[in-house]
Structure 1
């Protein structure tokens, strides 16, 4: 019974869509455009998208065709379809590179990427957006940069420049977060490179001080005292109130690494704590250690008196 009801609903929906398409086919270009404008005014963006698409497909060379393509970008953007909005903007820019309102297409493309990260959770919960994937923020920054460089006198350029400042700060903060993650993983070369990248490429952002602090700590862990000292001097001179400084003394986030130079140079891939016997590997050492721990945990009455080699125990006596 439920299946029949679902089929009936689906049939009615398809019929309604077909009826609507049939009605749209009967409308003139001017009427379709008027209805699309009315839907935009009423914030019925799905309807506006459908009307504008119908107008463009039925009258591709009509008087409203170019305007419909431009307003379709806006309808997609307001309907929270950022990928469709960016695709429509790319198409308009490709077809009409000399259009007097092509700067608007660039601006909407940047806005679509700008809002792509700001979903419902980001709007209503205190999320740190700089810790999220910066892909959309980077795309938005690039689109706004194209707009301001190609159309510096555009009416949208001032807003685009303000958004670029915000996005640049976010991208710089993201680089710092990545560098701090590398510190916790003891990947000090990668952390130092991230800090240097922030200092060299994101000047005049609040993250420059954090980038210098990353460099100081990473160089200290690597034993590069000269580089650490010069970075610390720059940090003290330009950011004397930075949280990593306590009365002029640098306070590292992570404890100093006690590993050998080879372990530090290989980012922990090669440890030198214990000596390997010929033919032995780190994996076999781990298995041996686990076996010994399990054997020690056995009751005394179950422990064997026969002393076997680690190879015998590892192979369960198959090669004794």
Structure 2
């Protein structure tokens, strides 16, 4: 009996067709398909306001595409960066901010973008801008602090009248103090391990690079102690004269090094 070649499908073809049908049926429905850009933004903002930043981010991403070329899309980018930051994905937040500034260099929101970039790099739940932790910024990696400073510096230089500039200046002051204290922290580390020349060199670096910051008092004290340990009385006395001249009420000469329970930023 004649049998048509088309009357029977090979088994593999049936299986492939079934897989395609299953795949189509399991495709996740896009609930935003018929939403207006304004509705997407409202939903994203509601998610962010409730702390669901992981849900807000994909909504902001959809909005970027739906409202491309509009101010709303720019707003979505910045809000997405903030949501990424709050969700703990700092690298993604920085990448989003950098992309925003590259695509929209003339945007009126560039000052906020710079401020946010500074905050993302700055924020470590430390120091005067957070709860009283016992580990200060000076004891951590300084790369982020330096990048934060550069972002804030660009902000205050380009946008001196920005609403974000006053806070940026305060944070810059804190960062400068922390960077100076970092050098002193290393100098103290060397001193406590008997590496007195290394301690002196690091303390001198802090004195050469920074001006009028609290950390310099301890830098001079480390030099006094290190020169004394090396049996160099003339240099020790010179360092002590500079210390007492600049800090006549210095507690280091009376009490020695601060304890771990007395963070350096408490002098503020």
How does the TM-score come out when normalised to structure 2?
0.75
Q: 1:25 aligns with which of 18, 33, 47?
A: 33
Alpha carbons of structure 1 residues 223 and 61: separation in structure 2 relative to 1, 3 Å: same
Structure 1: how far apart are the matches of 2:92 and 2:183?
29
Using CA pairs under 8 Å that are at least 6 residues apart, name the structure with larger relative contact order, 1 or 2.
Answer: 2
How far apart in 2 are the matches of 1:54 and 1:220? Answer: 66
Q: CA deviation at 1:235?
A: 0.6
Question: Could you tell me which of 151, 161, 167 is aligned with 2:175?
Answer: 167
Give the whole-Å Cα distance in 1 for the aligned partners of 2:256 and 2:85.
47
SS of the counterpart of 2:212?
A: coil
Deviation at 1:47, TM superposition (A): 2.0
Structure 2 partner of 1:34: 42
Q: How does 1:279-290 map to 2 (within 5 A)?
A: none
Question: Which residue is 2:211 aligned to?
Answer: 203
Alignment coverage as a number of residue pairs? 230
Other-structure match for 2:228: 220
Compute the RMSD of aligned alpha carbons: 2.7
Q: Please state whether the residue corresponding to 2:31 is helix, strand or coil.
A: helix
- In structure 2, the residue matched to 1:235 is 243
The equivalent of 1:112 in structure 2 is: 120
After superposition, what is the alpha-carbon deviation per residue over 1:119-172, rounded to whole angstroms, capped at 9, x for unaligned? Answer: xxx858533443222332232222212211221111100011111222222222
1:47 aligns with 2:55: yes
- Rg (Cα) greater in structure: 1
Q: Distance in 2 between matches of 1:43 and 1:150?
A: 32
2 CA distance for matches of 1:73 and 1:251? 45
Query: What pairs with 1:1-320 in structure 2 (closer than 5 Å)?
Result: 18-19=28-29, 22-116=30-124, 118=126, 123=131, 126-246=134-254
Shift of 1:178: 0.6
Are the counterparts in 1 of residues 101 and 110 from structure 2 also a CA contact under 8 Å?
yes
Per the alignment, do residues 197 and 24 of structure 1 end up closer, same or farther by CA in structure 2, a change over 3 Å counting? same
Structure 2 distance, partners of 1:218, 1:151, is: 45
Q: Which moved more, 1:173-182 or 1:194-203?
A: 194-203
Aligned equivalent of 1:292: none
Deviation per residue, 1:196-250 (Å, 9 max, x gap): 122222222111111111222233344554433322110111113323324xxx9
Gaps of 5+ in 1: 1-14, 254-320
- Give the Cα–Cα distance (whole angstroms) in 2 for the partners of residues 170 and 180 of structure 1: 15
